[in-house]
A and B are shown apart, each in its own frame.
Chain A
Amino acid sequence: MNSQLIAQAGVFARKLLPLQLEKVSAGFPSPAQDYIEKTLDLNELCVRHPSATFYVRAAGDSMRGVGIFPGDVLVVDKSLAARHGDIVIAIVDGEFTVKELALKPRPALLARNPSYPPIRLEAESQVEIFGVVTHAIRDFRANK
């Protein structure tokens, strides 16, 4: 099972590309050679603070309205200070939940699905913001 994975994933493609180009040096040098820097890496786009970034998997449909569906992988940056309107992972009654943080007019955790009521944040309520969700990654082919 694992050997299939390796064959598909193109582990070596990235490393082989520059090598192939160097081989043509016997003839006319490739005009692209000087322009090869590196391939794009999704980490650069999604992970600003590697030591504080964690991945979690979404379950439930209370955040459909912002485009978070069950099975999505969420990128969570714990180093960011949560602001009004951020999608956050909050700890409510000892459990993780994904919600939108509202600080105005009153502090609350909002679902983005009309069938879920908001969670009011009172002064005495024990809510910790675990981190800010910066990206969601969906596999469109999964479960088909």
Chain B
Amino acid sequence: MNHLFALVDCNTFYASCEKIFRPDLDDQPVLVLSNNDGCIISRDRVAKTLNIPELVPFFQVKARVEQLGCHVFSSNYELYGDISARVMAALAPYAAALEVYSIDEAFLQVRAKDYQAHGTAIKDMLWRDVRMPVCVGMAPTKTLAKLANRAAKKIPRLNGVCVLDTPQKWEWLLARIPTKEIWGIGSRLSERLKMLNIHNALQLARAEKKWLRKKFSVVLERTISELNGHPCLDLDLEPAPRKEIVCTRSFSYKITRLDELQQAIASYASRACEKLRMQQGLTQNIWVYLESFDRQVGYFNRQVVKALPHLSNDTRQISQVGQQAIAELYQPGLRYKKCGIGLLDVRTQTYEQVDLFNPQQTERSRALMTVMDNINHRYGKQTVQLAGAGIEPKWSMRREYMSPRYTTRWSDIPVVKC
């Protein structure tokens, strides 16, 4: 076999990140909450054995969770982002090519004499270098590699590595997998397949794919080929720059005052603009959104799109437009719970047309933004920001159980006893 696809997936990623610098929690149940401490979004291996459900509102299970002795953390995205970057960088030498699929998953194209040994080497290396537990699934196609990874997670005797390199091996697994668990097949499609007497992945693999293509789609036909070991999907090596950058958040409490909303929108604008500049983008259209929930008035949301005089990535300009827009959307006397800003129709700087008749973003503004990004990159987020975003604002996210930013702030690095 020429090469295989490997899917490396971190086990309970957020919870595992929280455990890296807390060896005292190795055998303790750990939970991670979503933004604003809303829901449980990650449970470690120990917490799973306690039957604590995922994606439930935290307040509903808080008493039970405390009684069971669970360690609860607010989401610490600075830490997770840094650990993710380390995992991806550490994987690179083990792959001919690598696609970062999500914060905690990567597809690799691998060539090895002994794939089982190669998978085990990857798993051991990530534990040694980053203290991150992972599972590795390998197969001739991405769809099968996904299923191999799932098997590596669920079948203990595989020790976290599953290689499906012969039809016998993958057919054994496919017969045990319901169709809805195949990559790209949702529950609605699997219901329709059931009516055709296709219940598991092996039945789908053996189905008449030309006929199913007519009845459903070319995507399903591709999935069937992939289930038979014929690759149709290649690594997505350079994800297309995003056409829209949106930043919306809920507040930790209901906001009633316009100046606080304007602070919030300025701060989201500066986050969105940083992302925009990171992908060398420019925007001219800005979407602003405001949502309230008030017992008397009920649910209400309003939005507006504003145009800039020219393409720009200047935080000051975009934030100012955002603040004007929010003032237009604002109605006094309501309680607001969420707002957001979206940069629409993002272009790449290199394609920007030189327009002699219309004004453009000045060199000075570009230089200032570069300096701002450099400083914030070097000294940590929000070292330099617009005064309009507020200093330690009241409305920002609730993060009652936040762990230190161990790897991204000098003030937060772990203290070790000598």
Partner-B contacts on A (CB < 8 A): 2, 5-6, 11, 49-52, 54-63, 68, 70, 73-74, 78-79, 89, 91, 94-99, 111, 128, 130
Name the contact of B417 in the complex, choosing from A54, A97, A128 (C-beta under 8 A): A97
B381-418 vs A, CB cutoff 8 Å, 1 = contact: the mask equals: 00110000000000000000000001100100111111
**Closest CB-CB distance, B387 to chain A, in whole Å?**
12
A-B contact count (CB 8 A): 91
Residue from B131, B374, B413 within 8 A of A57 (CB atoms): B413
Cβ–Cβ contact A78 & B418, under 8 A = no
Complex A-B, nearest 5 residue pairs according to Cβ-Cβ distance, in ascending order: A52-B129, A94-B24, A60-B418, A51-B89, A51-B86
> Given known contacts A2-B379, A6-B375, A11-B378, is B26 in contact with A57 (CB within 8 Å)?
no
Measuring CB to CB, which residues of chain B are less than 8 angstroms from any residue of chain A? 23-26, 85-87, 89-90, 125, 128-131, 374-375, 378-379, 383-384, 406-407, 410, 413-418
- Give complex CA distance A94, B22 in Å: 8
B128 and A79 contact, CB distance less than 8 A: yes
Inter-chain contact A97/B89, CB cutoff 8 Å = no
Alpha-carbon separation in the docked complex, A61 to B87 (Å): 34
Q: Judging by beta carbons under 8 Å apart, are B379 and A68 in contact?
A: no
Contacting pair A56 B86 (CB below 8 A): no
Docked pose: A82 CA to B130 CA in angstroms: 16
- Name the CB-closest residue of B to A79: B129
Are the CB atoms of A57 and B90 closer together than 8 Å?
no
Do residues B129 and A97 form an inter-chain contact, with CB atoms below 8 A? no
Min CB distance B103 to A, Å, is 15
Q: Which residue of the partner chain A has the closest CB to B411?
A: A57
User: A residues within 8 A CB of B375?
Assistant: 6, 11
B129 partner, pick from A2, A51, A55, A62, beta carbons under 8 A: A51
| Residue pair B416, A98 in contact (C-beta under 8 Å) | yes
Residue of B nearest to A58 (CB): B418
Within the complex, the shortest CB–CB distance from B80 to chain A, in Å, comes to 15
The one of A2, A6, A56, A94 that contacts B416, using a Cβ cutoff of 8 Å: A56
Contact B374 A11 (CB under 8 A): yes
Contact A50-B416, Cβ < 8 Å, known A11-B374, A78-B131, A96-B23: no
In the complex with contacts A51-B90, A96-B23, A59-B379 CB distance below 8 A: no
**Identity of the chain A residue whose Cβ is nearest the Cβ of B90 in the assembled complex:** A51
Residues on B with C-beta less than 8 A from A68 are: 418
- Closest Cβ of chain B to A39, distance in Å, is 15
Contacts of B131 in A (CB 8 A): 78, 130
